[in-house]
Amino acid sequence: MKIKRKRTKKFYIRDTAIGGNSPITIQSMTKVPTSDTKEVIRHIKKLALSGCDIIRLAVLNKKDALSLGKIVSSSPIPVIADIHFSKELALLSLKQGVDGIRINPGNITKKSDWKLIAKEIKKRNTVLRIGVNSGSLPEKKEYHNLNEVDKLVLPCLDAVHFFEAQGVKKIKISLKASNVLETVAAYEKISKKTSWPLHVGVTATGTGDTGIVKASIGIGSLLCQGIGDTIRVSLNDPSLREITVAKSILQSLNLRKFGIEVIACPGCGRSQVAILKLAKQVEASVKKIHKNIKIAVMGCIVNGPGEAKDADLGIAGGKGEALIFKKGAIIARIKEKDIIKVLLSEINKI
């Protein structure tokens, strides 16, 4: 089964394609002050190596904005300036040569300011992200009696239409709330009203497993409908964790491949092998192998090959031994101590 994506407008941010049938890109943010240029550049390069496609930087003050030029020239991936409240910081960031800019129409509200920003965006052919957030919605009277979904959608559309009329040619949209259902409903609604690429995510998801679950449900349910051109998994964790989870979401839906995918059964009373330990050993062993294949680590011989018959290679553990199988067909019975060695040998044959 393949997800049919909604076809959106396509454009490039630096060399990275956004929208259309382009690969869904992964975004993250650095979590140190942007003015700490050396540390920010180090973070960006580490994130890029881990699979981050686009990075967004918070711009709180003039010092942050003036740091962007050096960061952009040193970054291997496109840099987005994240602006709130200040048109002056938006304009200064654009003049530093950022690849894109995010503004929030909930706290930069004057149309005269929007006009100045639009003029500078057009001059530099920069990407504009219009990012509405449930925590900072516009205070216009006409929005007050709307339901929570329309409070996100309508201000966003108003801003989109304004910048379209100003001649801005590259627009991305985001509408985020901490409530998963409201976020999903808002994206579903705006997806029917515009063909601009959508940046999908759930804001303020929380820590640890709670944050991962919320982000995965929200982002995953939209991607399953074909909605979403870029994603960010917002976690109260290091940015590298955001990238890991984002890659897992995309790979689990067959939307992108990032090398070997390892699946594993949960284990039960039938397991005669330390399934968690074995699965982690397999993951560590194949981490640097760049082949788009699936490997299954199953805890028993009874139904392991059958349950994981779609895997390119699989292991079904037994007492002191294991079966190796390809696409559900058993190809070898080996000793437990030889599992990793034999598995790697079989991977090399693919």
pLDDT, tens only, 221-246:
999 999 999 999 999 888 999 999 99
Q: In the structure, what pLDDT confidence band is assigned to residue 308 with cuts at 50, 70 and 90?
A: confident
| pLDDT computed for residue 322 by the predictor | 87
| pLDDT computed for residue 96 by the predictor | 96
Contacts of 17 (CB under 8 A, 6+ apart): 10, 11, 23
Q: Residue 136 above 90 pLDDT? A: no
pTM assigned to the model = 0.89
Q: Which of 296, 300, 284, 287 is nearest to 260 (CA)?
A: 287
Q: Residue 294 above 80 pLDDT? A: yes
Instruction: Determine the Cα–Cα distance for residues 233 and 299; give it in Å rounded to an integer.
Output: 31
| pLDDT computed for residue 46 by the predictor | 96
Q: In the structure, what pLDDT confidence band is assigned to residue 88 with cuts at 50, 70 and 90?
A: very high
If you average pLDDT over every residue of the chain, what do you get?
A: 92
Instruction: Determine the Cα–Cα distance for residues 75 and 30; give it in Å rounded to an integer.
Output: 12
| Bigger pLDDT: 309 vs 30 | 30
Q: Residue 83 above 90 pLDDT? A: yes
Q: Residue 204 above 80 pLDDT? A: no
Q: Which of 116-120, 180-184, 304-308 has the lowest mean pLDDT?
A: 304-308
| pLDDT computed for residue 104 by the predictor | 93
Please, where in the chain does CATH 3.20.20.20 lie?
11-252
How is the beta sheet containing 25-29 ordered, strand by strand?
A: 171-176, 127-133, 100-103, 79-83, 54-58, 25-29, 230-231, 199-200
Relative to beta strand 127-133, strand 171-176 is: parallel
pLDDT, tens only, 322-340:
889 898 888 989 898 988 9
Q: How much is the average pLDDT of 281-288?
A: 88
Q: Residue 192 above 90 pLDDT? A: yes
Q: How much is the average pLDDT of 53-75?
A: 97
* Fold adopted by 261-349: Sulfite Reductase Hemoprotein; domain 1 (3.30.413)
Instruction: Determine the Cα–Cα distance for residues 298 and 165; give it in Å rounded to an integer.
Output: 57
Q: In the structure, what pLDDT confidence band is assigned to residue 301 with cuts at 50, 70 and 90?
A: confident
Instruction: Determine the Cα–Cα distance for residues 288 and 215; give it in Å rounded to an integer.
Output: 27
How much of the chain, in percent, has pLDDT values that exceed 70? 100
Please, where in the chain does CATH 3.30.413.10 lie?
261-349
| pLDDT computed for residue 224 by the predictor | 97
CATH number of 11-252: 3.20.20.20
Q: How much is the average pLDDT of 186-191?
A: 97
How crowded is residue 29: how many other Cβ atoms within 10 Å of its Cβ?
Answer: 18
